[in-house]
Chain A
Amino acid sequence: MQHTFPHPKINIGKLYLILLISTDQSVPQRQIDFTGNWFIDIGILGFINLMEEVYEWDLEDLRNRIKKEPEKVYYKYFPQAFVYYNLMKQNISNLPSPKDNDNVLEASVDKKQIFEESWKFIEKNYSENGRIPLSSSDEFYYFYNFLFFQPRWKKEKQKSAFEEILGLKNLEDDVLVDIDRTVCKFLPSKKEFPNISYTGSLITNHTLQNIVSHSTIFVLTFPLGFISLINEKDKEEDRRTMFYSSNMEFSYKINKKIKQMVERSTEKKESIFTVTWEAIIDTLTELKSQWALENMYLVSYNLEKNQKLINVEYIGIPKLQAAIIMDDTIRENLNKYVPYRKIREKFKWKWLIQEFIKGNLLYPTIMNHLYLVLNKDAKLSYSSSLYSLLVDSKILEFKSKKEKSQIFSPDYFDNFKSLIKNIKDEISFTSFASGLINQISESAETKNRIARELLETLKSKNKNMFLNILLKNVNENKELSSNRNFYNWILEKIISNKTSFEMYGLILVMNLLRG
């Protein structure tokens, strides 16, 4: 007989929940993980990055340390690492690394004492004219003149600010109490908060500390979660970007990979998007965590002189697009730049995958690209254009069918496998049938003329005129007119196609331009 107990996992889950709730906040958490709040999570990632940079611990090492000796990690290793890293960024030579200062503390020592020890080390090794020369340059510019970065603050004051941040002292400093623009540049300042008159108070760090212990530390390490993309030629392109997903390990691995790739690719002018996507794919394959596809974001921003955020981008990658791009062939074909405009003899390029992930149709880009080809300004990217147009058309068809049914269809849970198969079948079928149009004439000039006329009708979305011009020209060639594969394709893909005839029309134009 089958046993009738409830599933054991459920009980463990409940127990775990109760333990979490009853955790005493004064005890440091013996684990580090994402919270689901992106602001805190990026801070956590920044914390991990910092510890890795200074102590060369990877995520696994850090986790073990936190498990064994959380107090030491937060009250000793962290402040030392933070100060050291800041000074290191100022190119100060002969800095003793805190890595070499790993004296063994007795297990019973309390956190205040641990911090005292650590501060002693900082004072002894780094202080200069009565202060620790912390500077808000580089990524610390995010916290310009914030607390201990102020040049007037002497070391006693700096120490006290650290104590507040570490949670050894009550939060008193104005700038630390409220969570507003001072600590998170993505928010308005306290005065500008639109709902202040309704709520009375904003979310404060006190509240946050009660939810996530050490949250103030993560507020401070927030900018360290980003990867800086300094463009030597163009300072405005001084961008900071990071990849965020709700899985810590996944985010950590991808960001690490992006950093390595950026270092390698500065010469090649590769866009961050190329690099990021490569990193994502690599890591996805490695971790086989298909589910992570559903919660991925790229967060990036530039910081202006007065610390104003500009060009903030927050790109979510929709599941449909992510699933399609997981297919190797489709991804390779979309993984290209195509020129789409020429301004003063200079080409403008579009990165197809980027457009695609943003949820944009690729059709307008390809159309502009074909205009350039038509005017002999650019070489035709045939395969990429074909894939772009058919991906567009299949998604449109798919969506028009789905309108009537539910959002979470079986396709959704199947990662759109049938849609992907559809796209690939269509590629081979259409590339053959539409290629037949090349028989329309032997002269490249004639084909160019027809292509131009057809392109104009597509631009004005005039299906009637498109077919009129097409059939008029095809009618001159009796052999092509009676080619079964060709006319069936026209009938199915253009005449009776309500959702995406433009894409197939453009494919015909493209074939004419192919020569």
Chain B
Amino acid sequence: MYQKNIYYWQKVVGDRPISMDLEDIRKAVSEGFKSESPNYKQKLVYNLLETIRNNDQKEFFYILLKAINKPKKDYALLLEQLNKSYDVMPEEAFANFAYTVLIGIMATYDRGEKNE
């Protein structure tokens, strides 16, 4: 049923269209955050929401990178994805990318250590 979730935009330099596979990003994020505590993730999502709202790409990546800057194997896939898609994006492409990251984090609330 699900189509490939791909979002295109034109990069400023050069004319090769760059695409992001949103479904792959979602999976990589979920894989990375799967064992974090739900409450921690919930707070993280609130913080990230605020940055997307303001289209503050710098702050978004700052918070995100700080969160995954851990010597954990879980994040390997996500780092690889970020390495591929990190860029200064047009606002619309950024919003789609960022909300996909949030969906990926939120999708893991039913997993992770329960330390409430």
- Give the residues from 68 to 97 in chain B that come closer than 8 angstroms, CB to CB, to chain A: 91-92, 95-96
Which A residue's beta carbon lies closest to that of B46?
Answer: A475
- Give the residues from 434 to 493 in chain A that come closer than 8 angstroms, CB to CB, to chain B: 463-465, 467-468, 471-472, 474-475, 478-479, 481-482, 484, 487-488, 490-492
The residue that B103 contacts in the complex, of A465, A479, A495, with Cβ under 8 A, is A495
Asked if A467 contacts B106 (CB within 8 A), the reply is no
Q: Is A496 an interface residue (CB 8 A)?
A: yes
Q: Is A193 an interface residue (CB 8 A)?
A: no
Q: Within 8 Å CB of A468, what residues of B?
A: 49, 52-53
Q: Is B64 an interface residue (CB 8 A)?
A: no
Bound Cα distance from A351 to B112, whole angstroms: 51
Bound Cα distance from A492 to B1, whole angstroms: 10
Of residues A472, A482, A496, A498, which shows the largest number of chain B Cβ atoms within 10 Å of its Cβ?
A: A496
Asked if A479 contacts B6 (CB within 8 A), the reply is no
With known contacts A471-B99, A491-B5, A495-B100, A465–B53 Cβ distance under 8 A:
yes
Bound Cα distance from A241 to B95, whole angstroms: 51
Bound Cα distance from A160 to B38, whole angstroms: 96
Of residues B1, B42, B100, B102, which shows the largest number of chain A Cβ atoms within 10 Å of its Cβ?
A: B102
Asked if A475 contacts B53 (CB within 8 A), the reply is no
Q: Smallest CB–CB gap between B89 and chain A, Å?
A: 13
Q: Is A429 an interface residue (CB 8 A)?
A: yes
Asked if B45 contacts A471 (CB within 8 A), the reply is yes
Asked if A487 contacts B49 (CB within 8 A), the reply is no
Q: Smallest CB–CB gap between A49 and chain B, Å?
A: 53
Q: Smallest CB–CB gap between A388 and chain B, Å?
A: 22
Bound Cα distance from A309 to B48, whole angstroms: 62
Interface residues on B, range: 20 to 34
Main secondary structure of the interface of B (DSSP, over half): helix
Asked if A495 contacts B96 (CB within 8 A), the reply is yes
Q: Within 8 Å CB of B46, what residues of A?
A: 472, 475
How many residue pairs between the two chains, A and B, have CB atoms under 8 Å in the bound complex? 72
Q: Within 8 Å CB of B6, what residues of A?
A: 496
- Give the residues from 405 to 430 in chain A that come closer than 8 angstroms, CB to CB, to chain B: 429
Asked if B103 contacts A491 (CB within 8 A), the reply is yes
Q: Within 8 Å CB of A481, what residues of B?
A: 106-107, 109
Which B residue's beta carbon lies closest to that of A489?
Answer: B2
Q: Smallest CB–CB gap between A78 and chain B, Å?
A: 63
Q: Within 8 Å CB of A467, what residues of B?
A: 52, 95, 99
Asked if A478 contacts B38 (CB within 8 A), the reply is yes
The residue that A475 contacts in the complex, of B5, B7, B45, B55, with Cβ under 8 A, is B45
Asked if A482 contacts B103 (CB within 8 A), the reply is no
The residue that A471 contacts in the complex, of B2, B22, B102, B109, with Cβ under 8 A, is B102
The residue that A482 contacts in the complex, of B92, B96, B107, with Cβ under 8 A, is B107
Asked if A491 contacts B110 (CB within 8 A), the reply is no
Bound Cα distance from A347 to B52, whole angstroms: 40
Asked if B53 contacts A491 (CB within 8 A), the reply is no
Q: Smallest CB–CB gap between A483 and chain B, Å?
A: 9
With known contacts A468-B49, A472-B46, A475-B42, A491–B106 Cβ distance under 8 A:
no
Which B residue's beta carbon lies closest to that of A476?
Answer: B42
Asked if B1 contacts A471 (CB within 8 A), the reply is no
Asked if B1 contacts A491 (CB within 8 A), the reply is no
Number of residues of chain A lying within 8 A (CB) of chain B: 23
Q: Within 8 Å CB of A484, what residues of B?
A: 107
Asked if A491 contacts B22 (CB within 8 A), the reply is yes
Bound Cα distance from A358 to B92, whole angstroms: 32
Q: Within 8 Å CB of A487, what residues of B?
A: 103, 106-107
Bound Cα distance from A484 to B103, whole angstroms: 10
Q: Smallest CB–CB gap between B71 and chain A, Å?
A: 26
- A287-329 interface bits toward B, Cβ cutoff 8 Å, 1 = contact, 0 = none: 0000000000000000000000000000000000000000000
- A379-402 interface bits toward B, Cβ cutoff 8 Å, 1 = contact, 0 = none: 000000000000000000000000
The residue that B106 contacts in the complex, of A464, A475, A496, with Cβ under 8 A, is A475
Bound Cα distance from A465 to B46, whole angstroms: 14
Q: Within 8 Å CB of A479, what residues of B?
A: 109-110
Which A residue's beta carbon lies closest to that of B53?
Answer: A468
Bound Cα distance from A492 to B109, whole angstroms: 20
- B45-62 interface bits toward A, Cβ cutoff 8 Å, 1 = contact, 0 = none: 110010011010000000
Asked if B1 contacts A496 (CB within 8 A), the reply is no
The residue that B3 contacts in the complex, of A429, A490, A492, with Cβ under 8 A, is A492
Bound Cα distance from A193 to B100, whole angstroms: 62
Q: Within 8 Å CB of A471, what residues of B?
A: 45, 49, 99, 102-103, 106
Of residues B3, B91, B110, B111, which shows the largest number of chain A Cβ atoms within 10 Å of its Cβ?
A: B110
Bound Cα distance from A468 to B5, whole angstroms: 20
- Give the residues from 25 to 39 in chain B that come closer than 8 angstroms, CB to CB, to chain A: 26, 38
The residue that B5 contacts in the complex, of A429, A472, A478, A496, with Cβ under 8 A, is A496
Asked if B42 contacts A491 (CB within 8 A), the reply is no
Which A residue's beta carbon lies closest to that of B103?
Answer: A487
Q: Within 8 Å CB of A496, what residues of B?
A: 5-7, 22, 96, 100
Which B residue's beta carbon lies closest to that of A472?
Answer: B49
Which A residue's beta carbon lies closest to that of B42?
Answer: A475
In the assembled complex, 9 residue pairs joining A and B whose CB atoms fall closer than 8 Å, in A order, are A429-B1, A464-B55, A471-B99, A475-B46, A478-B42, A481-B106, A481-B107, A481-B109, A487-B106
Apart from A429-B1, A484-B107, A488-B2, what are 18 other A-B pairs with CB-CB below 8 Å? A467-B99, A468-B52, A471-B102, A471-B103, A471-B106, A475-B42, A479-B109, A481-B109, A482-B107, A482-B108, A487-B106, A490-B103, A491-B103, A495-B96, A495-B103, A496-B7, A496-B22, A496-B100
